[in-house]
Amino acid sequence: EEENEHVEDCITIQTGIMIRDCQKKLIEFCKKDASYRRYDLEKVEQDNELTREDVQLGNRMVARMGPLVIESVISRTTMINLVLEHIAPGTGISDKHVPWLAIEQLFSATLGPEVGPARATKILHKKRPALIPILDSVVLSYCKVAWSDDLRSESEASKMTAYVKVIKIDVDNNLDVLENIIQASALKLTPVRAFDILLWGYSGEYERNFGRPPVWKR
């Protein structure tokens, strides 16, 4: 029985790495890393209108956007909002039918000068929290290894969409575990965000990128 409980608290990612004690690690992250309190717990309407406050919330996830960058995103909200209309609130990455074209269009509308994948997804995740992962440099590093096709000729939005497909495979493969540990821990997270955290903080990808563990693990 103990062995079964242990297996149910592990996820395996596409590079073959197994992350154990996932519930304990999620709780640890949410307790020690301020982003859970300052970003994940903040209520954002899952409607089709990206507001200035929604954009600014990205800075609580260390997006480091100054006023000019924020204004540049605001200037693109008409197009962003039009695309959001094609992605129903509550749409999840593990749904059978994922609106891939709309996701790519959403990324394309949000990207701009000084707004790359990390900033774009930190803004968009809260509007569609069950669908959009946060593609910061650590998560991107993993996705580039897991995605086997050559993306060099693709647009940034197309690359990002491919990387969301990578995350979908992992979330689908580990969905029961992710849902169970979220429920057991009573954390306010979606499976895609829980996977993001486990990949970012506990797969070793952060250490491989920066040569040291995250601040809260030191």
- Find out whether 8 and 16 touch, Cβ atoms under 8 Å: no
H-assigned helices in the chain: 2-7, 22-32, 34-35, 52-57, 67-74, 77-84, 100-110, 117-124, 137-146, 156-173, 175-185, 191-202, 205-210
Percent of the chain with pLDDT over 90: 91
- Note the pLDDT of residue 186: 95
pLDDT bucket at 8, cuts 50 / 70 / 90: confident
**pLDDT tens string 41-74:** 999 999 999 999 999 999 999 999 999 999 999 9
pLDDT at 218 over 80: no
pLDDT bucket at 124, cuts 50 / 70 / 90: very high
pLDDT bucket at 5, cuts 50 / 70 / 90: very low
- Note the pLDDT of residue 52: 98
Which of 127, 116, 134 minimizes the C-alpha distance to 81?
127
Average pLDDT over the chain, rounded to whole? 94
- Note the pLDDT of residue 142: 96
Question: In whole angstroms, how large is the CA radius of gyration of the chain?
Answer: 17
Mean pLDDT of 199-216: 90
Domains of the chain: which residue ranges? 2-217
**pLDDT tens string 154-170:** 999 999 999 999 999 99
Count CB atoms within 10 A of the CB of residue 5: 8
- Find out whether 103 and 120 touch, Cβ atoms under 8 Å: no
Mean pLDDT of 172-200: 97
- Find out whether 195 and 11 touch, Cβ atoms under 8 Å: yes
